[in-house]
A and B are shown apart, each in its own frame.
Chain A
């Protein structure tokens, strides 16, 4: 039985992941900004088999409360085996281009809040000398594209932060997993037209749990995004900058 803390638990991908841990009869601590949604999720996870579910409501951009939240999670679960950080926003690229405050909102929600959480968590895991820190980043962070480079930059910062953290925590025996999903059909992408490359959150959740079980460092989900991004990363900049993607 594991002790699992899910931050950004109302995300579609996080919910599906939580269900898988509930099915394993794990204990869960779920964090999000909407208490009513957290309650709906907690009821569901208990019925699906979770040993216990506790919830904590906060806006994750409120960094001043991070210490208290993690403290509560740590003591409620008496230590954390797995923490998944899932929250994020897509932002509006066109608005970001005109108004930095929108871009700042994206950086805060996607990067700054995660960096603050990771700072606190890393120090605790370093002492605990075991466990998993898993964070949802994105393939969008692998290379900036003109259609969504603000979101991409926030995810690139996250991925880079995690690369470094992995190095730091590896001697403590702590797994740091960067999850890079491709296109997933969730509330975040409800405005997009869905095609062949789109995955369901259930599928991504299965991939996340497997990558955690297998102690992976980086997981592209579904796996074929590794190859897509491999190609995208290798297109010469002279050509890439002219592509309309």
Chain B
């Protein structure tokens, strides 16, 4: 069975996997197709209700790796975890990584994912040298900024709609060891967050903040600011992969486990876990980048109902926008377990309709409840009025009208869609079906 990470919406679809990069796309009469990597998108972007998905995980061969210059070519179903396992012992790391390493290269390109280093490195798409795009009519395009640049730009952040990426080349970044030098600062409110982002953003490649989404009043927007950078030679040269400890979540938790009270308690405890205002040290990269990967299938904690993520990007010039978003969430009393906030930078992505851009991004997880949908509607109004947008990779709710306003390039993008490809997401946000 193939789901998305939020396990919402529930769909009924079939699958027709691709097994070899030389194979063509399975054409099934009367239905549409969408590639499916590791299903780490939250909503319906990797789903195709009533139609077919193309699981890509069998395309997991490495094709070329040069340990001298850090160039890697691999099939699109290779996971970032496999790349790390291969590259780290040779002194290379991913140029950009999302908060989980269980995503495929194809998924990372198709959602043009970003990481904690967006302010200095841009998106995953900024580090893709080239890829091969296979269309349903059997045509293969080698895409890069030089060759088929339009398709290159459409497929980066193209949500799988432009055809199947079979293989890609990326440029890795050099590291000295497996450690991240970190600094964590507890901050009292939103203004403090902005100041920390400005100062630490210059010194650290990775910055992000965890926010106590239940805090209100003077404490609105308080949290922990986390800054990190790859540790230098003075921290040694151990390039061993850090140990993996993955605790499984064997069953769906009953829904009462995650309620407002337990979320509030968690947030309070987490905010106060660090007593000192500032702490610094070093930690292995798994702990720093992928804290959630240590609990396999943690999405089951939300129970059968599933969960929703809300990730928006709003301009940072006007601090009132993010303040009113945080206030709306806090006032609603619907807490989020994980609320993270980051200032994104202004390195343009090659992607035609990518999410990332300069501004402040906030991501929150919620269990699926009736109330949360009306909260989202209120938030949508603020985001849209401010000229912001939502991240399609995390979305299961936005209206067609909002999508078209957030991504005015969608009409231009539509020209590059493979005629046999579609997804639940795309039909929803173009208004073909009502959400």
Contact = CB atoms under 8 A, between A and B. Distances in A.
Interface of A: 12, 36-37, 40-41, 43-44, 47-48, 187, 190, 194
A12 B59 CA distance: 11
Contacts of B16: 190
A40 B1 contact: no
A44 B63 contact: yes
Contacts of B22: 36-37, 40
A48 B17 contact: no
Given A47-B62, A47-B63, 17 more contacts: A12-B58, A36-B22, A37-B22, A40-B22, A40-B63, A41-B61, A43-B61, A43-B63, A43-B64, A44-B61, A44-B62, A47-B64, A47-B65, A48-B62, A187-B19, A187-B58, A190-B16
Contacts of A48: 62, 86
A36 B20 CA distance: 10
B20 A47 contact: no
6 contacts: A40-B61, A40-B63, A43-B61, A47-B63, A187-B58, A194-B1
Interface in B40-79: 58, 61-65
Interface residues of A, dominant DSSP = helix
Interface residues of B, dominant DSSP = loop
Contacts of A187: 17, 19, 58
Interface residues of B, number: 14
Which of A37, A43, A47, A48 neighbours the largest number of chain B CB atoms within 10 Å of its CB? Answer: A47
Contacts of A47: 62-65, 86
Contacts of B135: none
Nearest to A201: B58
A41 B63 CA distance: 9
A90 to B, nearest CB: 15
Which of A12, A43, A187, A194 neighbours the largest number of chain B CB atoms within 10 Å of its CB? Answer: A43
Interface in B398-422: none
Contacts of B62: 43-44, 47-48
A1 B63 CA distance: 24
Given A12-B58, A36-B22, A48-B86, A190 B63 contact: no
Contacts of B7: none
B64 to A, nearest CB: 7
Contact of B17 (A41, A44, A190): A190
B21 interface: yes
Interface in B288-331: none
Nearest to B1: A194
Contacts of B19: 12, 187
Contacts of B1: 194
Contacts of B61: 40-41, 43-44
Contacts of A36: 22
A84 to B, nearest CB: 19
A44 B72 CA distance: 12
B366 to A, nearest CB: 29
Contacts of B20: 37, 40
A187 to B, nearest CB: 5
Nearest to B67: A47
A89 to B, nearest CB: 15
Contacts of A12: 19, 58
Contacts of B17: 187, 190
A237 B62 CA distance: 50
Contacts of B65: 47
Contacts of A44: 61-63
Which of A12, A36, A44, A194 neighbours the largest number of chain B CB atoms within 10 Å of its CB? Answer: A44
A139 B78 CA distance: 30
Nearest to A16: B60
A190 B18 CA distance: 10
A44 B60 CA distance: 9
Nearest to A49: B86
Interface in B367-415: none
Nearest to B167: A40
Interface in B1-25: 1, 16-17, 19-22
A12 B1 CA distance: 19
Nearest to A12: B58
Which of B20, B61, B62, B64 neighbours the largest number of chain A CB atoms within 10 Å of its CB? Answer: B61
A187 B55 CA distance: 12
Nearest to B16: A190
A104 to B, nearest CB: 26
A12 B86 CA distance: 20
A190 B20 CA distance: 14
Contacts of A37: 20, 22
A39 to B, nearest CB: 10
A194 B58 CA distance: 16
A49 to B, nearest CB: 9
Nearest to A34: B20
B251 to A, nearest CB: 12
Contacts of B21: 40
A40 B73 CA distance: 12
Interface in B61-112: 61-65, 86
A136 B375 CA distance: 55
B270 to A, nearest CB: 34
Nearest to B17: A190
B246 to A, nearest CB: 14
Contacts of A43: 61-64
A48 B62 CA distance: 8
Which of B16, B58, B63 neighbours the largest number of chain A CB atoms within 10 Å of its CB? Answer: B58
A10 B423 CA distance: 31
A47 B87 CA distance: 10
A49 B197 CA distance: 41
5 nearest CB pairs, A to B: A44-B61, A47-B62, A44-B62, A47-B65, A40-B61
Nearest to B15: A190
A40 B64 CA distance: 10
A52 to B, nearest CB: 16
Nearest to B21: A40
A40 B61 CA distance: 7
B263 to A, nearest CB: 31
Contacts of A194: 1
